[in-house]
Amino acid sequence: MKRRVTKADEPSKASLKEMPELTAEQLANARRNRHVERARRSLEIVVLDKKLVKKLGGPTAVHRILQALAESLERPKKKRRAA
């Protein structure tokens, strides 16, 4: 069954007046997914065997294990002596 278009589905004249019109220059500069490259650089993907994840207790348990491992590998901060 098709959905009927009613006046409530369309924007009001007042809201259309509030919307700014874009110039050709603004449209030319508009890009989709402009933050994708930064996200790709900041994310790392680890692929694990399903059986291994299941044996370790699921995705959240694997995440906790990897966090604990990363924290244990960090260099301990040197204690400064008071002068």
The pLDDT tens digits for 34-68 are 788 888 888 888 899 999 999 999 999 999 999 99
Position with higher pLDDT, 2 vs 21 = 21
The dihedral over CA atoms of 52, 57, 58, 61, expressed in degrees to the nearest 10, equals -110
Pairwise CA distance, residues 36 & 67, whole Å: 25
pTM: 0.43
**Binning pLDDT at 50, 70 and 90, where does residue 74 land?**
confident
